[in-house]
Amino acid sequence: MKRILGIMGAMAEEIDEVKTMLVDVKSVEVGGRAFYSGTINGIECVVVFSKWGKVAASITASILIGRFAITELLFVGTAGALAEGLKIGDIVVGQRLVQHDLDARPMIPRFELPLLNRVYVNSDVRLTGLAVRAVSKLLDRGVVQVMGEKNAKEFSIVAPALVLGDIASGDQFVNSAAKRNSILSELPDIQCVEMEGAAVAQACYEFDLPFAVIRVISDTADHNARIDFIRFVREVANAYAKAIVNEMTLLLD
Ligand code: ADE
């Protein structure tokens, strides 16, 4: 079967940057989303802005799967840190994805996906392993190479860490200690929080498609989150997205 890699980004800025890497690019609009097809490092790719939130992301993933016949999906975006010690600029590769705002009690236990009998969806072991290798290569090259000296200094990013761990998604931007602590008290092993990954994971699980999620920490999901997030997306997230996709496609054969 011919490999077609779907690449979804959580921010338009990230996708704009990744788009510049496509060779022989063609664009098609479906469901209010622009899908860009072409090759990156010889790998056939379809690149699209996921839009925000779980519903938008699952619609986008379903179109990639049903209409563009992708064979694997890579999600790249930013996230707010929940785990102690994670800093802005660190990278989390998702091992398991969970929807922190899913609650159909008393019919179904807290966080459990209705009719799927599971709380967590596992990312694909092979693709996630490649994601870890790709991110390690990128971090080994040094942050200045990825984002430039000015940005590295401005965001105090010195030697970003790579963490393989669990990611929680929900339809809210987490920007207070109360919200972040409430998620952590119920899901203590979560590394970071965002708004799309677990929805994409569920879509891929139901369509039996391998996926990986890579999230760069843009904020610490507290009262500074909004300001840090906006600055980070404008200045740095697109550079990370481009570098990650470049390394990842170089590793795919
Ligand atoms: N994406 C990046 N930062 C986030 C946050 N604090 N909450 C939800 N999604 C995010």
Distance CA(39)–CA(54), nearest Å, equals: 27
Digits of tens for pLDDT over the chain (253 positions)?
Answer: 889 999 999 999 999 999 999 999 999 999 999 999 999 999 999 999 999 999 999 999 999 999 999 999 999 999 999 999 999 999 999 999 999 999 999 999 999 999 999 999 999 999 999 999 999 999 999 989 889 999 999 999 999 999 999 999 999 999 999 999 999 999 999 999 999 999 999 999 999 999 999 999 999 999 988 888 888 988 899 999 999 999 999 999 7
Query: What six digits make up the tokens of 126?
Result: 């092979």
The catalytic position among 13, 14, 17, 194 is 14
In one letter, which amino acid is 56? Answer: A
In one letter, which amino acid is 28? Answer: V
Name all domains of the chain by residue range, CATH numbers in brackets: 78-252 (3.40.50.1580)
What is residue 181's predicted lDDT score, i.e. its pLDDT?
A: 96
Its pTM surpasses 0.95 = yes
Distance CA(73)–CA(131), nearest Å, equals: 12
Question: Can you tell me whether residue 185 is helix, strand or coil?
Answer: helix
171 is catalytic: no
Minimum-distance ligand 1 atom for the alpha carbon of 172 = 8
What is residue 186's predicted lDDT score, i.e. its pLDDT?
A: 97
Distance CA(218)–CA(225), nearest Å, equals: 8
Write down the residue that tokens 């799927």 correspond to: 116
In one letter, which amino acid is 30? Answer: V
Beta bridge partners of 30: 33
CA quadruple 202, 57, 27, 229: dihedral positive or negative?
negative
Residue nearest to atom 1 of ligand 1 (CA): 79
Q: Kind of pairing, strands 211-219 and 91-99?
A: antiparallel
The catalytic position among 17, 90, 219, 247 is 219
Distance CA(203)–CA(107), nearest Å, equals: 22
Distance 193 CA to ligand 1 centre (A): 6
16 is catalytic: no
What is residue 227's predicted lDDT score, i.e. its pLDDT?
A: 82
What is residue 225's predicted lDDT score, i.e. its pLDDT?
A: 81
